[in-house]
């Protein structure tokens, strides 16, 4: 029996039971029936969470682009693979067929080869949401180069840190990008970054905004002329199942960003399988995920998952507010979108605007709605359900992470009854566990704990690039023999999961995962700052916003506090990017600390959230007097 496409609840339970009872059989049947292998595996799964080491489909050989492109050419060569919707609604959309995608990926791959890129080399991609982004990702995969896409909202410093961490040889960028009514000088940011990146040998530059930029001799080249003269065929590099496919950085609660490394076969099988089921994808659908390919959502559910299923996937260059707040719904109507996948923060922002922006569009093509990135609050869920889905479209609240590669907990539309704010049930093959503080698994329902996964799934990250010890420490040491997600969750009376939020020092702002430590490091570099602490507080659009408590070096510092606040945010923008800016900055004379010197963030979180009725016992603090001062001056 094929378990590839689940159609109703009973089938889900059957499939789920099988996937848990015999995971190897379950995944090997799916892999066998739905993908193209150059050689089959010798062993479906090898795993040991104590090392940790996880290998799926060992011995198999394949190329993921053959699965995402070549094998579709016979059956759907003239079907649109990528539908590009530009920032400017007046600019025509571009329909790239599977045949054209094949040619463009092959040409790009040949350009990479001609510039010395080989299997295993790292290529950093710093591009806006234009077709070249997806094409360059696939071109790397075609020749076995490891892509590392860096979200084009990151600053030069953040870009340089990532380039150096993965020791990339090449950067692919563009002359600039459009973002609503603004243009951004991407190439200038790359130039700044590369001042600190001695390992970069070449930079390929796509033309997008026709700006006048500097091209550094011997290093920078315009992409288009190279593509024009490149060969239209490029034989795929035959990869081993566990060869790295990409590195994608995510912020940690401490230290530098973590380069999550994903490998080939398991990632392909899992993202394709979950795409099919989470979105109930069918051949004629037009699927749109509004994420950026700079995040894992874009990797798995704009590029790889949809293309592995031969789908039409929309790439949108712009923002939801340009030229007005009806842009998303305009695109849904224009392209007759069937599945629409976005972030709660976008929903909350649009729900604040006039409802006419929604109602004046024909959204009747929609069948399934999705959310990802953070918990969705009940109000936003109902607005989405009532006005966008017109109560006819199931909402899939998909919980997952950069580390998990694909969706782990989500309803299956038309099978799993949805429940607002609940991600509901685990995908087949996924075995969640809730753990208590003592490290014991909590059985039964109506319980709450720390969310772990106790059995491997095919698309889990295999390591942190260059730092396996950190991988083990971060994810496999809190609970013995389990992958720890960093999230808290509860399981209701029927076994549905609800994600309650991070239990570590990661804060999700507008769906972006931000670690407190890198932001604090950035602030502390300001010459007037001695120390700082960042916490999150509830924000009605962003979900969480950042509140910074800052100690200045000079007790009597006379400089204007507003100017200092601006400088602190400027510092963050330069070091990380504007997404990490603080909403509130309070200058304090001290931070509440334990006797061992650890900042008591719990207290700061309560103050930032204006929830000071129950601060708990502060008498054991090193400096209890500072709490009152901070409360008195809270913003
Ligand atoms: C963290 C992972 C998965 C791609 C985008 C974010 C939070 C994600 C949900 C959801 C509640 C969610 C978690 C998770 N998160 N989806 N549906 N409900 N929380 O990837 O940047 O790696 O962040 O996002 O806290 O751990 P990421």
Question: According to the model, what pLDDT value does residue 26 have?
Answer: 97
Is residue 189 very low, low, confident or very high in pLDDT (cuts 50, 70, 90)?
very high
Question: Which backbone phi and psi does 117 adopt, to 5 degrees?
Answer: -85, 130
**Would you say the CB of residue 502 lies under 6 angstroms from ligand 1?**
yes
The tokens for 605 are 């979180």
**Would you say the CB of residue 397 lies under 6 angstroms from ligand 1?**
yes
Q: Atom 8 (ligand 1): residue with closest C-alpha? A: 373
- Report the percent of the chain where pLDDT is more than 90: 88
CA neighbor of 468 nearest in space, from 54, 7, 36: 54
Separation between Cα atoms, residue 70 and residue 81, nearest integer Å: 12
**Would you say the CB of residue 297 lies under 6 angstroms from ligand 1?**
yes
Separation between Cα atoms, residue 145 and residue 140, nearest integer Å: 5
284-327 pLDDT per residue, tens: 999 999 999 999 999 999 999 999 999 999 999 999 999 999 99
**Would you say the CB of residue 342 lies under 6 angstroms from ligand 1?**
no
- Tokens 């004629």, residue located: 284
Q: Is the pLDDT of residue 613 over 80?
A: yes
3 state DSSP class of 334:
helix
Separation between Cα atoms, residue 76 and residue 78, nearest integer Å: 5
Question: According to the model, what pLDDT value does residue 251 have?
Answer: 82
Separation between Cα atoms, residue 573 and residue 580, nearest integer Å: 7
**Which of 290, 296, 300, 399 maximizes ligand 1 atoms within 8 Å of its Cβ, making it the mutation to test the pocket?**
399
Is residue 615 very low, low, confident or very high in pLDDT (cuts 50, 70, 90)?
confident
Mean pLDDT of the chain: 95
Q: Is the pLDDT of residue 518 over 90?
A: no
Distance from Cα 135 to the centre of ligand 1, integer Å:
26
Is residue 253 very low, low, confident or very high in pLDDT (cuts 50, 70, 90)?
low
The tokens for 567 are 């400088």
Angle between helices 601-608 and 625-632 (to 10 degrees): 20
Distance from Cα 451 to the centre of ligand 1, integer Å:
12
Instruction: Check: CB of residue 55 under 8 Å from CB of residue 45.
Output: yes
**Would you say the CB of residue 486 lies under 6 angstroms from ligand 1?**
yes
Q: Is the pLDDT of residue 17 over 60?
A: yes
Question: According to the model, what pLDDT value does residue 2 have?
Answer: 65
**Would you say the CB of residue 401 lies under 6 angstroms from ligand 1?**
yes
Question: According to the model, what pLDDT value does residue 597 have?
Answer: 73
> What mean pLDDT is predicted for residues 24-29?
98
> What mean pLDDT is predicted for residues 386-403?
98
Is residue 218 very low, low, confident or very high in pLDDT (cuts 50, 70, 90)?
very high
Separation between Cα atoms, residue 313 and residue 82, nearest integer Å: 5
SS3 for 89-151, per residue?
A: CCCCCEEEEHHHHHHHHHHHHHHHHHCCCCCCCEEEEECCCCHHHHHHHHHHHHHCCEEEECC
Question: According to the model, what pLDDT value does residue 585 have?
Answer: 96
Instruction: Check: CB of residue 233 under 8 Å from CB of residue 106.
Output: yes
Instruction: Check: CB of residue 176 under 8 Å from CB of residue 185.
Output: yes
> What mean pLDDT is predicted for residues 513-532?
89
| CA dihedral of residues 452, 458, 463, 468 (deg, nearest 10) | 70
**Would you say the CB of residue 423 lies under 6 angstroms from ligand 1?**
yes
> What mean pLDDT is predicted for residues 438-461?
97
- Whether the bond between 52 and the residue before it is cis, its omega within 30 degrees of 0, is yes
> What mean pLDDT is predicted for residues 35-54?
98
What DSSP string describes 341-398?
Answer: EE-HHHHHHHHTS-THHHHTS--TT--EEEEESSPPPHHHHHHIIIIISTTTS-EEEE
Q: Which atom of ligand 1 is found nearest the CA of 423?
A: 17
**Would you say the CB of residue 411 lies under 6 angstroms from ligand 1?**
no
Is residue 402 very low, low, confident or very high in pLDDT (cuts 50, 70, 90)?
very high
Distance from Cα 502 to the centre of ligand 1, integer Å:
9
Question: Which backbone phi and psi does 501 adopt, to 5 degrees?
Answer: 125, 175
**Which of 380, 405, 499 maximizes ligand 1 atoms within 8 Å of its Cβ, making it the mutation to test the pocket?**
499
3 state DSSP class of 8:
coil
Distance from Cα 399 to the centre of ligand 1, integer Å:
6
Q: Which of 320-324, 363-367, 544-548, 559-563 comes out lowest in average pLDDT?
A: 559-563
**Any alpha helices (H) in 35-71, and if so which ranges?**
64-68
3 state DSSP class of 205:
strand
87-101 pLDDT per residue, tens: 999 999 999 999 999
The tokens for 226 are 């190279």
Separation between Cα atoms, residue 106 and residue 276, nearest integer Å: 26
3 state DSSP class of 452:
strand
Question: According to the model, what pLDDT value does residue 504 have?
Answer: 86
Is the four-CA dihedral 388, 393, 399, 405 of positive or negative sign? negative
Distance from Cα 401 to the centre of ligand 1, integer Å:
5
Separation between Cα atoms, residue 485 and residue 74, nearest integer Å: 41
Beta-ladder partners of 303: none
State which H helix or E strand residue 298 sits in: helix 296-298
Separation between Cα atoms, residue 108 and residue 181, nearest integer Å: 30
Q: Which atom of ligand 1 is found nearest the CA of 506?
A: 25
CA neighbor of 487 nearest in space, from 498, 477, 476: 498
Question: According to the model, what pLDDT value does residue 469 have?
Answer: 97
**Would you say the CB of residue 418 lies under 6 angstroms from ligand 1?**
no
| Tally of residues, the chain | 635
Q: Atom 1 (ligand 1): residue with closest C-alpha? A: 401
Distance from Cα 398 to the centre of ligand 1, integer Å:
8
**Would you say the CB of residue 64 lies under 6 angstroms from ligand 1?**
no
**Which of 274, 303, 344, 374 maximizes ligand 1 atoms within 8 Å of its Cβ, making it the mutation to test the pocket?**
374
121-161 pLDDT per residue, tens: 999 999 999 999 999 999 999 999 999 999 999 999 999 99
- Whether the bond between 323 and the residue before it is cis, its omega within 30 degrees of 0, is yes
Higher pLDDT, 534 or 624: 534
3 state DSSP class of 484:
strand
State which H helix or E strand residue 572 sits in: helix 561-575
Distance from Cα 314 to the centre of ligand 1, integer Å:
22
**Any alpha helices (H) in 199-247, and if so which ranges?**
223-228
Separation between Cα atoms, residue 264 and residue 508, nearest integer Å: 28
The tokens for 79 are 């079907």
> What mean pLDDT is predicted for residues 405-425?
97
Instruction: Check: CB of residue 19 under 8 Å from CB of residue 428.
Output: yes
337-386 pLDDT per residue, tens: 999 999 999 999 999 999 999 999 999 999 999 999 998 999 999 999 99
**Which of 294, 513, 544, 580 maximizes ligand 1 atoms within 8 Å of its Cβ, making it the mutation to test the pocket?**
513
Instruction: Check: CB of residue 316 under 8 Å from CB of residue 290.
Output: yes
Kindly provide the ipTM of the predicted complex, given to two decimals: 0.99
Q: Atom 19 (ligand 1): residue with closest C-alpha? A: 374
Give the number of other CB atoms < 10 A from CB of residue 80. 21
Is the four-CA dihedral 522, 526, 531, 533 of positive or negative sign? negative
Q: Which of 436-440, 514-518, 564-568, 581-585 comes out lowest in average pLDDT?
A: 514-518
Is the four-CA dihedral 320, 180, 565, 520 of positive or negative sign? positive
């Amino acid at each position: 029996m094929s378990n590839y496409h689940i159609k109703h609840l009973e089938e889900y339970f059957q499939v789920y039971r099988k996937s848990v009872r015999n995971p190897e059989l379950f995944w090997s049947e799916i892999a066998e029936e739905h993908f193209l292998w150059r050689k089959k595996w010798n062993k479906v799964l090898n795993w040991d969470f104590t090392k940790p080491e996880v290998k799926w489909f060992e011995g198999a050989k394949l190329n993921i682009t053959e699965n995402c492109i070549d094998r579709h050419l016979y059956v759907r060569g003239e079907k649109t693979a990528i539908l590009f919707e530009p920032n400017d609604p007046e600019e025509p959309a571009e329909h790239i067929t599977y045949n054209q995608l094949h040619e463009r990926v092959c040409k790009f791959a040949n350009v990479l080869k001609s510039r010395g890129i080989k299997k295993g080399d790292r290529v950093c991609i710093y591009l806006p949401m234009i077709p070249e982004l997806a094409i360059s990702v696939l071109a790397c995969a075609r020749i076995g180069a490891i892509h590392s896409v860096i979200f084009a909202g990151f600053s030069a410093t953040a870009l340089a840190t990532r380039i150096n961490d993965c020791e990339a040889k090449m950067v692919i960028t563009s002359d600039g990008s459009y973002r609503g009514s603004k243009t951004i000088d991407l190439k200038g940011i790359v130039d700044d970054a590369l001042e600190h990146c001695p390992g970069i040998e070449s930079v390929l530059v796509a033309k997008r905004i026709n700006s006048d930029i500097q091209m550094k001799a011997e290093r920078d080249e315009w992409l288009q002329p190279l593509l024009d003269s490149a060969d239209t065929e490029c034989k795929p590099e035959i990869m081993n199942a566990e060869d790295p496919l990409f590195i994608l950085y995510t912020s940690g609660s401490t230290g530098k960003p973590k380069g999550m490394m994903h490998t080939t076969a398991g990632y392909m099988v899992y993202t394709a399988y979950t795409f099919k089921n989470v979105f109930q994808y069918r051949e004629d659908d037009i699927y749109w995920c509004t994420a950026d390919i700079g995040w894992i959502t874009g990797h798995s559910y704009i590029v790889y998952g949809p293309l592995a299923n031969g789908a039409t996937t929309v790439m949108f260059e712009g923002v939801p507010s340009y030229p007005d707040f009806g842009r998303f719904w305009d695109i849904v109507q224009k392209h007759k979108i069937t599945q629409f996948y976005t972030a709660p923060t976008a929903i909350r922002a649009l729900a604040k605007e006039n409802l006419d922006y929604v109602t004046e569009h024909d959204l009747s093509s929609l069948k399934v709605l999705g959310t990802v990135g953070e918990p969705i609050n009940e109000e936003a869920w109902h607005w989405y359900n009532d006005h966008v889905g017109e109560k006819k479209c199931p909402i899939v609240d998909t919980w997952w992470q950069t580390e998990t590669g694909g969706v782990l907990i989500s309803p299956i539309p038309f099978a799993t009854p949805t429940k607002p704010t609940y991600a509901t049930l685990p995908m087949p093959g996924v075995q969640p566990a809730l753990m208590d503080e003592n490290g014991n698994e909590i059985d039964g329902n109506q319980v709450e704990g720390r969310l772990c996964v106790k059995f491997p799934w095919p698309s889990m990250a295999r390591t942190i690039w260059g730092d396996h010890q950190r991988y083990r420490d971060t994810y496999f040491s809190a609970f013995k023999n389990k992958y720890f997600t960093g999230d808290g969750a509860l399981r209701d009376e029927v076994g549905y999961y609800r994600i309650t939020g991070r239990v570590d020092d990661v804060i999700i702002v507008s769906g972006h995962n931000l670690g407190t430590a890198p932001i604090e490091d950035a602030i502390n570099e300001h010459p007037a700052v001695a120390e700082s602490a960042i916490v999150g507080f509830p924000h009605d659009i962003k979900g969480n916003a950042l509140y910074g408590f800052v100690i200045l070096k000079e007790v009597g510092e006379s400089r204007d506090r507003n100017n200092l606040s601006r400088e602190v945010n400027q510092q963050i923008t330069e070091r990380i990017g504007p997404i990490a800016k603080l909403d509130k900055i309070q200058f304090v004379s001290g931070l509440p600390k334990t006797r061992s010197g650890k900042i008591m963030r719990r207290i700061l979180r309560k103050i930032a959230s204006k929830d000071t009725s129950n601060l708990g016992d502060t008498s054991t603090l090193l400096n209890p007097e500072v709490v009152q001062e901070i409360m008195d001056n809270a913003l």
